[in-house]
Amino acid sequence: MQNLSHPKTLISIVGPTAIGKTNLAIQVAKHFNCEIISCDSRQFFKEMKIGTAVPSDDELAEVKHHFIQNISIHEIYSVGDFERDGLKFLDNYFQTNDVCVMVGGSGLYEKAITVGFDQFPDVDPSIRETLNKELEEFGIEKLQEELKNKDLAYFNEVDIQNKQRVTRALEIIRGTGKPFSSFRNQNTNPRPFNIVKIGLELPREEMYDRINRRVDIMINEGLLDESKQLYPLKELNALQTVGYRELFEFFDDNFTQEFAIEEIKKNTRRFAKRQMTWFKKDEQVKWFSPLDHKNIIQHIESQKSSS
C-alpha cells in the first residue's frame, strides 16, 4: 500500500492463474460499487477468449470491466502503452468514483500501473536484427541458454518461451554489458491514488489441481477450435502463449492431442510458479485464501479508512 494521503483507492488483486482472481474481483467491486480494469496482458486481445480465461458473459454483465478484449492480436500493444492508457483511464474514472479494482496475473502490467514502467537505455538497433536472425537460425533454446548465463534473476521469472521477452532482455544485455534485471525497479513514480494490494494463494497441490481442471474446461469449451482458427497467425507475438503454443505443435503433427493437453497443464503450472515468484517479492501484497472474502473486504476497508 502507498500514497495514503489520497482519497481515491485502487485495489489490485494478484496471484497465479486459475486461483479465483476474477470471482474475487467481482465480489469486491460489487461491495464497493465500482468498476474493474484488467491487467492481464492476454485478455486484451479480441481473438483470444477461451485460452485466456476471459470472464464469462455473465461475469462481465455483473460488473463493468475495462481492458478486456479491447484490441486485436494484429496490433502491437506494449506494457508502456498499457501504463499510459491505464493511468489515463484512472485519471478520468477517479473524477467521479472513489474506488476501482484492478485484477490480473501479468506482474509487469500490474507494476506498470502501481509503480511505473522501467526506463531502459537505447541500444543499437542492429543488435535486435542479429538476435532475430539467431532466433530464426538456431531456435529459442540457444537464446534461453544465453539469458540463463548472463541474467539468471530475470531468467527465473520470465516466460522463457516468450520469444519477444527473451530477445528484448538479450538486446539490453548485449547493448549495455549489464544484466537486464539491473535496469528494473530503478525509479518509482508516485501515483495520485491509494493502492491496496491483495494476493491470492493456495497450497501447491490444490493450486495445480485447479490448473488441471481449468485446462480441461477450456478444452471442453472449444479451445481446439479457437486455436485452429488462430493457427495461420501462430507467429504473432500475442499467440506465443501457453495453451495456444502447445496446440499449434499438435496441428504441426509434432504432438499428439493428448500430449499437447498434458503439456498445456505442465506449462501452466510452471507459469503459475513464476507468477508467485514475481508477486511474492512485492512486500505491499497482503496474502489470503481465494475464498476468504470476508477478511479480504475487512482488510481493504481498514486500509481505506487509514488513508
CATH class, domain 125-183, is mainly alpha
Instruction: For residues 74 and 179, give the distance between their C-alpha atoms in angstroms, rounded to a whole number.
Output: 31
Give the sheet arrangement for strand 99-103, strand by strand: 65-66, 35-38, 99-103, 9-14, 194-200, 285-288
Binding residues for ATP, by number, are 15-22
- pLDDT (tens digit, 9 = 90+) per residue, 145-203? 999 999 998 998 888 888 888 999 999 999 888 899 887 765 567 899 999 999 999 99
Kindly report, as residue ranges, where domains of CATH 3.40.50.300 are found in the chain: 9-118+186-305
Kindly report, as residue ranges, where domains of CATH 1.10.20.140 are found in the chain: 125-183
Cβ atoms within 10 A of the Cβ of 130, count? 15
The CA-based angle 186-189-194, given to 5 degrees, is 130
Binding residues, by number, are 15-22
Binding residues for substrate, by number, are 17-22
Question: Is it true that domain 9-118+186-305 has CATH number 3.10.20.340?
Answer: no
Q: Do the Cβ atoms of 100 and 94 come closer than 8 Å?
A: yes
Q: Among 82-91, 167-176, 227-236, 291-300, where is mean pLDDT lowest?
A: 167-176
**Sole residue written with cell 497450497:** 203
Residue 121 has pLDDT above 90, yes or no: no
- pLDDT (tens digit, 9 = 90+) per residue, 186-245? 556 789 999 999 999 999 999 999 999 999 999 999 999 999 999 999 999 899 899 999
Count of positions (residues) in the chain: 307
**pTM of the complete model:** 0.81
Q: Is 139 left (phi over 0), alpha (psi -120 to 50) or beta?
A: left
Establish how many alpha carbons lie within 13 A of residue 226's alpha carbon, considering only the half-sphere containing its beta carbon.
19
